[in-house]
Amino acid sequence: MWMMVMFDLPTDTSEERKNASDFRNFLQKKGFSMAQFSVYFRFTGSREESTKYVRAVKRNAPSVGDICILFFTDKQFGDIIHIKNRKSDSLAQKVTQYELF
């Protein structure tokens, strides 16, 4: 399961810019990777595992702005077409899955 956080935060004042920057830094500290400036994603393993990240995002969300959280299966995330510098690239990072016997 993949989790994507997209946000649109105000940056008109220095305090709003600091809040937006703090939120981006929070996401990176929680293991999210930047896809675009306001789009971050993270592999969570399962939907149940993602609930702790949802709670953390809610706790750290700035008091103003718009934040959306989306969920994708491995297959759906792997099918995302990412074009960078006119070349197709895979957005998803390879995640190693372990088998327990």
Q: If pLDDT is split at 50, 70 and 90, which confidence band does 101 have?
A: very low
Residue 96 maps to a domain: no
Q: How many domains does the chain have?
A: 1
Whether 93 shows a pLDDT value over 80: the answer reads no
Residue 85 maps to a domain: yes
* CATH number of the domain where residue 32 is located: 3.30.70.240
Which amino acid would we find at residue 24? R
Whether 96 shows a pLDDT value over 80: the answer reads no
Containing structural domain, residue 65: 2-89
Distance separating alpha carbons of residues 71 and 33, to the nearest angstrom: 15
Distance separating alpha carbons of residues 77 and 95, to the nearest angstrom: 12
Report percent pLDDT > 70 for the chain.
Answer: 88
pLDDT tens sequence across 28-59? 999 999 999 999 999 998 989 999 999 999 99
Residue 33 maps to a domain: yes
Residue 58 maps to a domain: yes
- Three-state SS for 6-31 is EEECCCCCHHHHHHHHHHHHHHHHCC
pLDDT tens sequence across 51-88? 999 999 999 999 999 999 999 998 999 888 888 888 87
Residue 57 maps to a domain: yes
Residue 95 maps to a domain: no
Distance separating alpha carbons of residues 30 and 52, to the nearest angstrom: 11
Q: If pLDDT is split at 50, 70 and 90, which confidence band does 97 have?
A: low
